[in-house]
Structures are given as C-alpha cells and as structure tokens.
Structure 1
Amino acid sequence: NKPDQIIEAIALKPGQSIADIGSGGGYFSLRFAKIVGKEGRVYAVDTKPELLEYVENSAKEKGLDNIIPILVSGDKLEDLPEKSLDLIFMRNVTHHIPNRVEYFKSLKRFLKPDGRIAIIEYKKGKIFTFRGLFGHYIPKETIIQEMEEAGYLLEKEFNFLPEQHFTIYVVKMS
C-alpha cells in the first residue's frame, strides 16, 4: 500500500509538528494526526475553505483535535509558527507554485533546525494525459536543482511510486 510506504518513508514520530501543504481533503493530514498524537500538531494548509472545513469535520469525527486548518491565498504562507515544524509535506502541489525557488526559501523560517521537506510530484506522463497536456508535473531533476538553489540538500529519494517522484530535503548548514 503506497500511502503506508509514504508514511513509513517520512518517519514521523509522536509529538512532532508537520505542515501538510495542499492538504486537500485531508487524506494524509488525518493519518499524520494519528501518528503525531496528542502532543503533536498537523497544520492542514490549503487555498480552498470548503476542503479545510471537510478536514476539520473528519478530524472531529475521528476524535482528532491536533489538526489546525490554515487557509492561504496563493503561495503566501503567514500563519505557520516560525521554527516549529519537523516536516513540511508537499504532495502534487509544487507544479501550482509560480516562483518555486523563492517559495522554497520562504519555508525555511518555519522549520526547526533539523526539519525536513518531503516533496512528491508527478513524473511526466504520456503527452495525451491530463498531466502531460496541462503541465501538471515537474521533472525530479528540476525540483532537486531548485531546492539546492533555495538552500537545501537532497537527503533521500524513493522510487516506489509509479507516477510520482518522492524526495526529502534538509536545510544546508551554512
């Protein structure tokens, strides 16, 4: 099961704080919330209020009170607490971000010193798929290069997702 493999790969621990950027319907946010437990925090970050409301309701139904919904407009992240995050998780969202290097740089202030960023993004599909036609993918090499420009180092990469690449980064020590 791929979601379980993803969760295993990011190695979350109880008590940690994570931002799920582009949390959508909360599929991963809810799973993260169970793992980090009462002491942990999951910031579900999205641009659509109705999705965040859905995540909030799902969390209540499941008795999870550690999910904090954060509504953002575009790529402006303001409401995350600085130096608080163990992990920033971005799944299939980087292709929506216009100035990625600047955006990636801006994430540093929210990370703890040993915090990490996990990025899952579509590989190029066949040209006649929705992804191929509408540019909903970014080559892995491009992401690695942009993250390096933004001051991160590639820590790990995983190849178990058939349609996506999956990389994890740490902040470069200056």
Structure 2
Amino acid sequence: MMRRLAASAAVLALAAGLSGCVIIASEGEERIVVADSSGPALDLGAPAYVSLYTDAVADPKRPAEEVARDPLRHPAEILAFAQLAPGDKVADVRPGAGYFTRLFSDVVGPTGRVYAFVPERTMARENPLADALVAAYPNVTRVNGLLDAMTYDQPLDMVFMSQEYHDFHIPGFNTDVAKMNAAVFAALKPGGRYILIDHEAAAGAGISAVQTLHRIEGDYLKREVEAAGFVFEGESAAVANPEDDHSLNVFDAAIRGKTDQFVYRFRKPG
C-alpha cells in the first residue's frame, strides 16, 4: 500500500495519527525519523530545522492573503517533507506570487539560493511577480528559460513544482515533459530532490484531464518522473482530501482550495 507520510515536528501529532507510523524524535543533533511498517525509515532532517520551518511560516513579511491559505496548504509539513535545509540551492518552478518562494528563502538563508524559474511562455505576466520577490529577498534570483531545457548557474539541491506539472502537458505550453524531467535531473546534484505537488485525477485518467479539470493521475506522473532516472522516495498526505471524488475542475467553487493533492519526493541517485 502506498505510504502516506507527513513529516514535521510541527505536526508530529498529525503524523503519529497515521496508521502504522512510528516516529522517533531524538534529542540534540540527532535526526527525526518517520517510518511505517511497509518500508524503511525516512530521514527527515535535524530537529533544529523545525524552528526554521515554523519561523518561516510565522514571518511577518508574508502577505496576509498567503497566510490565510496556510490551513489548506500546510506549509510547515511541506517544508519538512521536502527536507529543506540552510544553504540549499533550490528552484521554484513557476512560483506565481511566491507563496513557497518566500518560505524557501527564509529557510535556506544567506548561504542558500532560491531560483524563481519563470518559463519563457509566461514571462510577460509572471516576471513582474518574480522581480518583486527578488527585490524583497536578496537570496532569490529570477531565471527565464524553456521548461524542457532549464539550466541554472550551479547544481541544485532541490527542484520544486506546486500545482504546475499538469499544466506542462497542455499543448499550449509547447513543452516536452520527458525532456523537462531530464533537464531537472541534470540540474540537480547527485542525491538532489524533486518535489511535486499536484491535483489528483481519477484512477486511470493519466493526462486526459490536464486541460479540462487541471488534474493529473499521480501514478502516471510517477512513471514519467521515474523514466528520467529518479527514484521515488515517499509521499506526504499533508494536502490530501479523500472527500474529493476527482470529478470537478480544480477551479470549481465547490472544491477550489480543497482538492485531493499528492506530494511526491523523488531523488536523483548518487
């Protein structure tokens, strides 16, 4: 059975409630380990990072409209599952107004770097948003390019996409998704992480609903990413919603903001 993991000391009580989970929170500089009976333990970072995640979420610079979305987006859990650490170099692909970019900036700190990657296809609309992030956060850099040929000026620890991957299968983006995943693989350091959040589609739907409902089947996405050489490492249930039957467009008022979403972590071997 697919493992559903939520990993953050800020939400240890939540994780403890997952069936079959075992949580070990060690003292000092030991690391938090979350496991279930179906597989090996996953190392989710030093306990010291928990305060970085919660401090980032509590940062008064965050816009009020983004803070209001926190109960649905569970940012501390996502940061922990992504294993974000000080000094990391990360790419936030299509960051929009910067919900996650701001959080990443706070956690990676002055020795880290966050690349706000805006595809050439959408840069007329999205570059001003990215430039506002650059102006507010010294460790954020805007990058433009083709999704299926993205490059960065240094190897990355993490590439992150939230609710975007399905769009890149829409014909109007003119993106070869297999080449995009290969470009992400090349951009990452050995051991680097590829974090994907997206709206779940019905079982067997594949990419048939990417334009009509803005959903993608998680298993289909997983196969595509693994084909690029990545190893699937785990899944978080932080933004899952079992009440969503996957039949509505994600912008439908009845489900908007409350869709069933998967959060996958893949790793580049090495």
Question: How high is the TM-score relative to the length of structure 1?
Answer: 0.84
Would you say 1:88 and 2:159 are equivalent positions?
yes
Distance 1:74 1:10, change over 3 A: closer
Q: Is the 8 A contact 1:12 1:35 kept in 2?
A: yes
5+ residue gaps, structure 2, are: 1-70, 170-175, 203-208, 242-259
Percent of aligned pairs sharing the same letter: 25
Equivalent in the alignment of 2:131? 56
- Amino acid paired to 1:166: V
Equivalent in the alignment of 1:31? 103
Q: 2:179 aligns with which of 71, 85, 102?
A: 102
Give me the whole-angstrom Cα distance separating, in 1, the residues matched to 2:146 and 2:265. 25
Q: Is the 8 A contact 1:152 1:172 kept in 2?
A: yes
Larger deviation, residues 24-33 vs 131-140: 131-140
Report the number of matched residues.
164
Which structure has the higher relative contact order (CA within 8 Å, separation 6+)? Answer: 1
Give me the whole-angstrom Cα distance separating, in 1, the residues matched to 2:229 and 2:210. 29
Question: How high is the TM-score relative to the length of structure 2?
Answer: 0.56
- Amino acid paired to 1:112: K
Determine helix, strand or coil for the equivalent of 2:153: coil
Would you say 1:10 and 2:99 are equivalent positions?
no
Q: Is the 8 A contact 1:49 1:71 kept in 2?
A: no
Give me the whole-angstrom Cα distance separating, in 2, the residues matched to 1:92 and 1:143. 12
Distance 1:133 1:32, change over 3 A: closer
CA RMSD of aligned residues (A): 2.1
Determine helix, strand or coil for the equivalent of 1:105: helix
After the TM superposition, list the runs of 4 or more consecutive aligned residues in structure 1 that deviate by more than 4 angstroms. Answer: none
* More strand per residue: 1
Shift of 1:73: 4.1
Distance 1:123 1:36, change over 3 A: same
Determine helix, strand or coil for the equivalent of 1:144: helix
- Which entry has the higher C-alpha Rg, 1 or 2? 2
Q: Is the 8 A contact 2:201 2:218 kept in 1?
A: no
Shift of 1:123: 0.9
Would you say 1:66 and 2:139 are equivalent positions?
yes
Give me the whole-angstrom Cα distance separating, in 2, the residues matched to 1:132 and 1:42. 28
Give me the whole-angstrom Cα distance separating, in 2, the residues matched to 1:39 and 1:51. 26
Larger deviation, residues 115-124 vs 46-55: 46-55
Q: Is the 8 A contact 1:159 1:166 kept in 2?
A: yes
Give me the whole-angstrom Cα distance separating, in 1, the residues matched to 2:223 and 2:212. 22
Shift of 1:49: 4.0
Equivalent in the alignment of 1:141? 219
Q: C-alpha offsets along residues 35-90 of structure 1, whole Å, 9 cap, x if unaligned?
A: 101110000011324433223324534xx200001122454314x125x1000001
